[in-house]
Amino acid sequence: MARIVMKFGGTSVADVAHIRNVAKHIKREIDGGNQVAVILSAMSGTTNQLINWTSDASPMHDAREYDAIVASGEQVTIGLLSVILQSMGINARSWLGWQIPIKTSAVHGAARIEEINGAEIIRRMEEESQVAVIAGFQGIGPDERLTTLGRGGSDTTAVAIAAAINADICDIYTDVNGVYTTDPRIVPNAKKLARISYEEMLEMASLGAKVLLTRSVELAMIHKVRLAVRSSFEDPETARPTKDSDFSNLKNGINNHPGTMVCDEDEIMEQELVSGITYSKDEAKITLVNISDKPGISARIFIPLSEANINVDMIVQNVSEDGKYTNMTFTVPSDDLDKARSVIEQNNQNIGYEKILASTNIVKISVIGVGMRSHAGVAARMFETLAKKGINIIAITTSEIKVSVLIDAEYIELAVRALHTAYDLDVT
Ligand code: ADP
Ligand code: ASP
Ligand code: MG
């Protein structure tokens, strides 16, 4: 017997027929003797629509009311799944964030989970064989009002609940059957990974692989939650119910999980040099033309940006030809572009640039792998591959296990495919 958390994303609960399919996955696990808690997203497209309605109603809206509106999508899906499960003879009960409660920080629209008491859910599982069907993405803030966790936040709810009820595994069911070497929608011959380390998954998520939300991987790492990705579109009736031996013996090379397990580095037998390639279109580029090349200029640019809570990711300063003037290019999240631009403009007296250029037509491509710690040449191969395709690199950043480059957005598919081949990741 295992205690499992099963999370289903928007495409897996897109309508009542899909929710019936989800119910069959749950029945399989219950029949297999497992204790189950379920986390659901809203139906795909619903949250976008709720956000659009809110902006239509008033572009400058109260963040508490935004949360009241956008959290409603999950209320519908948990209710529907609960009645379907009940009609199949399964004892199920829906839970909104405040009913558990899932206590969060005060930041409406981007709250962080702070505390969950899982005792009542565990009691009902053990004494009444009841399945908890929990709304993802929402909680209750210190002001006793509803909060939401930010887009894609149901993954975080799932991991946090798994930690709170001491689950053996947290399975994220989605529309692909695991974590791939790159987005399978861009590279059809991407390889499914049987296992990936927490560190690599964290980098992949934060660098654009949206199959898992970064915060959920972080929480799983901190609380040692076993996390996995698998498909809700595999046949729910022929799939095998989960057994605790599926994941209790990873170090011996045993891996019966049908999707991808996120685990410790030492539980991965054959470590590849590169385990994944990601792309992110969420950044924008700002160039300040002809700033003075003298000490203190960077501080005058980046201190006001950090005071405005704008995250700067990549920075390149050109070498000045005359020792007097240079150009500075940096990236910010594209959602913050207008704000960053106005912060810079307000500080121009202090900075003294001639011109400001901004573009969202860029993409960040990253190559990730713990193998980089012990092998040289990964970055060189990346630059060489892009050069052969005639793709210009605008900026570069590296860390212990990743190399990222900024390129023109038009080359996104060409770059990802070429790199995928260059690191021998293609399924042949
Ligand atoms: P859900 O609605 O279930 O939360 P998401 O759309 O958030 O699903 O995440 C699943 C999607 O993530 C897939 O459809 C896939 O296109 C995308 N994706 C991006 N990178 C990867 C990757 N490396 N491996 C698997 N899927 C990826
Ligand atoms: N429904 C929310 C969203 O679309 C949360 C989630 O699906 O994870 O962002
Ligand atoms: Mg998601």
Mean pLDDT of the region 382-409: 95
Cα 364 to ligand 2 centre (Å):
24
Mean pLDDT of the region 224-233: 96
Provide the residues around ligand 3 (an ion) whose CB is within 5 A: 9, 152
Mean pLDDT of the region 167-186: 96
Residues in Cβ contact with 385 at an 8 Å cutoff, skipping those fewer than 6 apart: 418, 419, 422
Ligand 2 pocket at CB < 6 A: 9-10, 41-42, 47, 73, 136-137, 151-154
Which of 49, 50, 113, 154 has the most ligand 2 atoms within 8 A of CB, as the residue to mutate?
154
Cα 213 to ligand 1 centre (Å):
10
Amino acid making up residue 160:
A
Classified as helix, coil or strand, 163 is: helix
Per-residue model confidence as pLDDT tens digits over 114-172: 999 999 999 999 999 999 999 999 999 999 999 999 999 999 999 999 999 999 999 99
Ligand nearest to the CA of 10: 1
Q: What percent of the chain has pLDDT over 90?
A: 85
Per-residue model confidence as pLDDT tens digits over 258-269: 999 999 988 887
Ligand nearest to the CA of 278: 1
Classify strands 362-368 and 402-408 as parallel, antiparallel or unpaired.
Answer: antiparallel
Cα 351 to ligand 2 centre (Å):
40
Residues in Cβ contact with 48 at an 8 Å cutoff, skipping those fewer than 6 apart: none
More confident call, 146 vs 376: 146
The residue whose CA is least distant from atom 12 of ligand 1 is: 211
The residue whose CA is least distant from atom 5 of ligand 2 is: 152
Q: End-to-end CA distance of the chain, in Å?
A: 38
Per-residue model confidence as pLDDT tens digits over 310-339: 999 999 988 777 778 899 999 999 999 999
CA 204 to ligand 1: nearest atom: 23
Residue 96 has pLDDT above 80, yes or no: yes
Ligand 1 pocket at CB < 6 A: 9-12, 41, 152, 174-176, 179-180, 182-185, 209-211, 276
CA separation, residue 423 to residues 32, 114, 191, 272, 384 (Å): 41, 40, 12, 10, 12
Residue whose token pair is 């599926």: 246
Ligand nearest to the CA of 174: 1
Closest by Cα among 154, 139, 133 to 80: 133
Q: What is the pLDDT of residue 265?
A: 85
Cα 176 to ligand 1 centre (Å):
7
Ligand nearest to the CA of 73: 2
Per-residue model confidence as pLDDT tens digits over 360-375: 999 999 999 998 888 8
Distance from C-alpha of 226 to C-alpha of 188, rounded to nearest angstrom? 28
Confidence of residue 295 (pLDDT cuts 50, 70, 90): confident
Q: Domains of the chain (ranges plus CATH)?
A: 3-176+211-265 (3.40.1160.10), 271-428 (3.30.2130.10)
Q: What is the pLDDT of residue 253?
A: 65
Mean pLDDT of the region 336-350: 93
Q: What is the pLDDT of residue 293?
A: 82
Ligand nearest to the CA of 13: 1
Which of 206, 210, 275 has the most ligand 1 atoms within 8 A of CB, as the residue to mutate?
210
Which of 8, 155, 172, 174 has the most ligand 1 atoms within 8 A of CB, as the residue to mutate?
174
Residue 100 has pLDDT above 70, yes or no: yes
Q: Pseudo-torsion of CA 355, 291, 326, 393, nearest 10°?
A: -50
CA 153 to ligand 2: nearest atom: 8
Q: What is the pLDDT of residue 31?
A: 96
